[in-house]
Amino acid sequence: MAAESPECFRPGQDKPSMPQQLPDSSPGYHWSDLPADMLIRVFLDLDILDLFSVRAVCQSWRLSYQVARRLGPCSSNRSLCLLYSSKDGDANTATLFRLSNKKLYRVALPDPPLGSCFVVGSSGGWLAIADERSELLLVNPITRAQIALPSPLTIKNVRGCYTLDGVLDGYRLHELDLENQDCDTQIEPDDLTPEQVRFHFYLRVVMSADPSSGNCIVMIQHMPRNQLSFARVGDAEWTWISVDQRCCDYNGFFYNDSDGLFYAVRVTGEVHAIDLNGPSAVVKVILKPITYLIDNYKYIVQAPWGDILQVWRYDEFITEDEKKTLKLKVYMVDQVKQRLVEIKNLKEHVLFIGFNTPFFLPAKDYPMLTPNCIYFTEDSMDYIYCHKFGPRQVAVFNMEDGSFTDLSPGSNSWQNWPLPIWITPSYSQSNKGKIHVAVQYNSS
């Protein structure tokens, strides 16, 4: 695929206003003189990346863009992008590979530099990243908004290691004893540097809502034994979910807007519904264990038609240093008969999995997508631990014929670190009236 000229996002500082004069209908009428109210009406129907692009057309369009930016786009279609770090960009720049037109967009992010971070999740247009001190941050690449999460020192099994001067020099990770709901002091803890912790501790991050809304729960999957902790945005510490001895060995999880619960799948296929709306966590088993043969990774997601689905992903090493996904299976969770039922299509939808919170898009609204396919990125932590800069698979699995299609955006541009991740750019709810970024359009 030939490389496209990138859109370049830069901080914008223009004062928003609106043209007051309407153009006349003389023969020399120019499109740059279109009425501001007409432009704003059109701009509100654009998705975010198209809206940024019109800003660079001319001064009058830029002024109308700023008003539309304040109001927020009305379009229900979201730009679908693969976010990654580019070889020809600086450490603070992220590249968005837009699937609809295969164009590249460059986004200038605030510190910490993306190239030094571990991207461990995305949800609703936000990234979850761990910096070089293993502190977790939520970042919106479009608005440049950042939200700091509680320190890892507040997680139940994490302790700090300090120099004689009282400076944090590392972390001590203890095993957790679910029976006694405390650290297991009989097992030797792991001592790690601040940078190492993020690779050996954080496994996945999921958000319940736009974190800038003020009503968001962030759940993290972490070591040991793939356990869960959560914090509300603004909390000072993490809360460990330790209801009983089954609260471990989780794979995927998601938040359900319709009932306000998190759903998590264990390595056995067992599904838990987790209620965090009361004073303490309540965990209910809604699907009993299905298998004890652990030879795949399991995702869980709610389909647009209401069913809860599990996706089983089977990976194998094709060489000593390269791993690929060779099979994907999708099952419907039958809570009544306590079983999984394999399904062969996604009812003309498309599913996206990886480090992102799994999500569906209707193929009819995205002509560039193939219906009944799973678009996936690399997210195997066992592989990443040993091959930080190893090859990354970005591909499409067709459920109807079982075929795989490579989707990598070109080896000349993208880097394998941080890990490429799916994202649907969005505005922060608390930043709709602020202009954090603008676009300089290059049509070459």
**pLDDT beyond 80 at 382:** no
**400 in Cβ contact with 112 (< 8 Å):** no
The tokens describing 109, both together, are 């992010």
- Number of other CB atoms surrounding residue 313 within 10 Å: 21
Q: Does residue 255 or residue 431 have the better pLDDT?
A: 255
Instruction: Give me the pLDDT at residue 399, please.
Output: 97
**314 in Cβ contact with 328 (< 8 Å):** yes
Q: Is 330 exposed, middle or buried (0-12, 13-18, 19+ CB in 10 A)?
A: buried
Q: Does residue 247 or residue 427 have the better pLDDT?
A: 247
Per-residue confidence at 89, pLDDT binned at 50, 70, 90? Answer: low
Q: How far is CA 22 from CA 66, 116, 343, 384, in A?
A: 18, 50, 57, 58
Per-residue confidence at 213, pLDDT binned at 50, 70, 90? Answer: confident
Q: Does residue 5 or residue 378 have the better pLDDT?
A: 378
The tokens describing 352, both together, are 């996206």
Please state which of the ranges 63-77, 85-99, 115-129, 154-168 shows the lowest mean pLDDT.
63-77
**187 in Cβ contact with 177 (< 8 Å):** no
Q: Does residue 282 or residue 419 have the better pLDDT?
A: 282
The tokens describing 400, both together, are 């109807």
What's the pLDDT tens digit per position in 313-360? 999 988 877 889 999 999 999 999 999 999 999 999 999 999 999 999
**Secondary structure of residue 43 in the 3-state scheme:** helix
**324 in Cβ contact with 376 (< 8 Å):** no
What's the pLDDT tens digit per position in 420-436? 999 998 876 544 333 33
Please state which of the ranges 273-282, 353-362, 404-413 shows the lowest mean pLDDT.
404-413
Helix-helix angle 36-43:59-71, to 10 degrees: 50
Residue ranges with strand state E in 216-322: 217-222, 227-232, 239-240, 250-256, 261-266, 271-275, 282-287, 297-302, 308-317
**pLDDT beyond 70 at 77:** no
CA 110, chain centre distance (Å): 18
**pLDDT beyond 90 at 1:** no
- Report how far residue 136's alpha carbon sits from residue 206's, in angstroms, rounded to the nearest whole number: 12
CA 150, chain centre distance (Å): 19
**pLDDT beyond 70 at 303:** yes
What's the pLDDT tens digit per position in 93-103? 888 888 888 88
- Number of other CB atoms surrounding residue 231 within 10 Å: 20
| β-bridge pairing 297-302 and 217-222 | unpaired
pTM of the model as a whole: 0.85
- Report how far residue 116's alpha carbon sits from residue 418's, in angstroms, rounded to the nearest whole number: 8
Instruction: Give me the pLDDT at residue 72, please.
Output: 64
User: What value does the mean pLDDT of the chain take?
Assistant: 84
Instruction: Give me the pLDDT at residue 150, please.
Output: 97
Mean pLDDT, rounded, for 381-408: 85
Instruction: Give me the pLDDT at residue 278, please.
Output: 93
Instruction: Give me the pLDDT at residue 100, please.
Output: 82
Mean pLDDT, rounded, for 51-78: 70
Domains and CATH numbers, the chain: 35-76 (no CATH), 77-423 (2.130.10)
Instruction: Give me the pLDDT at residue 74, please.
Output: 54
**pLDDT beyond 90 at 31:** no
Share of the chain above pLDDT 90, in %: 54
Mean pLDDT, rounded, for 382-389: 75
- Report how far residue 266's alpha carbon sits from residue 272's, in angstroms, rounded to the nearest whole number: 8
In sequence order, the 6+-apart residues with CB closer than 8 A to the CB of 70 are 16, 432, 433
What's the pLDDT tens digit per position in 187-210? 999 999 998 899 889 999 999 999
**Secondary structure of residue 381 in the 3-state scheme:** helix
In sequence order, the 6+-apart residues with CB closer than 8 A to the CB of 319 are none
- Report how far residue 180's alpha carbon sits from residue 197's, in angstroms, rounded to the nearest whole number: 25
- Report how far residue 20's alpha carbon sits from residue 121's, in angstroms, rounded to the nearest whole number: 45
**242 in Cβ contact with 255 (< 8 Å):** no
Instruction: Give me the pLDDT at residue 439, please.
Output: 34
**155 in Cβ contact with 238 (< 8 Å):** yes
Instruction: Give me the pLDDT at residue 65, please.
Output: 72
In sequence order, the 6+-apart residues with CB closer than 8 A to the CB of 154 are 236, 237, 238
